[in-house]
Structure 1
Amino acid sequence: MKYTEWLTRTGLLLALTLVIQMLGFPPFVTGPLVNMMLFTTVHLVGWLGASLVGGVTPWIALMRGILPPPLAPMIPFIIAGNIILVSVYYFMLGRNNYLGIGLAALLKFAVLSSGVRFLVELPPKIAQLMQVPQLLTALAGGFLALILVRLLTTALE
């Protein structure tokens, strides 16, 4: 893929992800959809593009009020979790996508959960947002991405 094509696709995927964030859905809808876009971006533009999208979206979520201000100290962990998610999935892509989704989601959960347990002090109710719900939204997003990629592949053939 040429650089301009990669850059255009990455920009479009970032824009779509930001639109999803800004639609104002509740977190249990927005979370899986954003994760779906991260997994889908791996398929369409690779690791670097997906890492860029995963690095920008937490900042936008904070600025738009999607991410509650008390979670601001978690942004580096969210970015790290997103990059780990796309990295693991990228490595597993084509080998076993289902296992890739599971491992990627589990490692993202481990990063976020460890951040709130050991490094960032947050009120318990806020800290809970960075634990099991993150695992579930990542898993849901991964499986939604498989459906989306299959639909895109079929439509473009």
Structure 2
Amino acid sequence: MNTKFMTRTAILLAITIVFQFMKMPQLVTGSVVNAMLLIAAGTVGMWSGITIGCLTPIIAFLVGIMGFPLMIPFIMIGNSLYVMLFSMQKNKILGMILGALVKFIWLAISVKYIIQLFNVKVPLKIVQAFTTPQFVTAIIGGILGLIVISLLENYFRFSKE
């Protein structure tokens, strides 16, 4: 880790936190957070996206956005899978779609089955939030992220000339 990595990751995390503090509906907040994960991965590197993806559920819990702390490690893993699959694919659109699908499947299985193995009753509202909306927000965020990455790549390319 170098100073450039830490600085850029911190700036992207700060922008993400600002959106989390706005406490908008899940469709908006989730989409923006997913976009920021891919923007971080696409501009700074995979570990930047993973770092932000692991910190955002903790912050969401601390600011009262997410009221079911047992989901935090599962969200961290889901976000990391999303970023890793995106980062490892040459075709970024395919990587984003694959990452969104795997994140959705992981979170749906986690909330419906894994947590319940520990005899924890998961409220219906939480189950609903961590199933289909996760796929939708990952796709919307992914599209936004790809657009921003493309714009930033063009900006960086022209600013070097």
The TM-score, its normalising length taken from structure 2, stands at: 0.90
2:87 alignment partner in structure 1 = 90
- The 1-side partners of 2:81 and 2:30 are apart by 16
1:23 alignment partner in structure 2 = 22
- The 2-side partners of 1:80 and 1:126 are apart by 17
From the CA coordinates, give the structure whose radius of gyration is larger.
Answer: 2
Unaligned runs of 5+ in 1: none
The residue type paired with residue 109 of structure 1 is: F
TM alignment of 1:3-152, pairs within 5 A:
3-67=2-66, 69=67, 71-92=68-89, 95-120=90-115, 121-152=121-152
CA shift, 1:99, in A, is 0.8
- The 1-side partners of 2:50 and 2:126 are apart by 25
CA shift, 1:153, in A, is 2.4
- The 1-side partners of 2:93 and 2:27 are apart by 21
Runs (4+) off by over 3 Å: none
CA shift, 1:24, in A, is 2.3
Unaligned runs of 5+ in 2: 116-120
- The 2-side partners of 1:34 and 1:130 are apart by 15
CA shift, 1:147, in A, is 0.9
CA shift, 1:108, in A, is 0.5
The TM-score, its normalising length taken from structure 1, stands at: 0.92
CA shift, 1:154, in A, is 2.7
Counting matched residue pairs gives 152
